[in-house]
Amino acid sequence: MNKQDLTKRLSLSVLPLNFNIDSKNNSLSKISSVLVILHYRNQTPHILLTKRASHLSRHQNEISFPGGKFVESDDNIINTAIRETYEEIGLSICYNDILGRLNPVHTLQSNFLIIPYVTVQNEVIIDNEFTNSEVAKVIDVPLFELLDTIQRDHIHDTKDLKAIKFSFEDHVIWGATARIISQLHKILFQL
């Protein structure tokens, strides 16, 4: 799927950018946002993921999207995703390049509400010399190869949630990250 077709398909399905923290989620103190960065390498769509560092107190060694917790100085939750992406992987994304957002996802262990924002870029070059104490490495995955690995995740099923997982090389992607990726799966395969 070329960039124009992918962008059009996503644009028809994503939610508007605005997400009002105060009126919609005033009882939640832990709000975060991430950037779902789709880009093209060798005319193939890829998705950027990160492997979190092993020393972190929460979600250590897990695969995630770049992003993090909202702070008041961000002014809005979109700026949180942009700021955190730059801090974690050194990649600058412009506000105007964000197509929209996916449905919010709750983390089950740390009780964060994650707002995922989607952008489609030309080829993204990651500086392998860039370091951040929260990120062990950046993982650049062919999008459709990843989406094809969708499976039921019986290990993480709960009474209320049938969990799913994805995989790439030796990485298993589960939890909130998998639930975000599954939204892309629905958009791209079930529209």
Between 27 and 103, the higher pLDDT residue: 103
pLDDT the model gives residue 27 = 52
Residue ranges covered by each domain of the chain = 3-21+28-143
Q: What is the pLDDT of residue 55?
A: 60
Quick count: other Cβ atoms within 10 Å of Cβ 176?
24
Split at pLDDT 50, 70, 90, the class of 61 is: low
Residue 21 has pLDDT above 70, yes or no: no
- Report pLDDT for 26: 45
Does 3.90.79.10 match the CATH number of domain 3-21+28-143?
Answer: yes
pLDDT at 159 exceeding the cut of 90: no
Alpha-carbon separation of residue 44 from 80, 123, 136, 181 (angstroms): 28, 10, 25, 17
Q: Higher confidence at residue 116 or residue 30? A: 116
The 3-class SS string of 145-181 reads: HHHCCCEECHHHCCCCCCCEEEEECCEEECHHHHHHH
Tell me what the mean pLDDT of segment 124-138 comes to. Answer: 82
Q: What is the pTM of this model?
A: 0.90
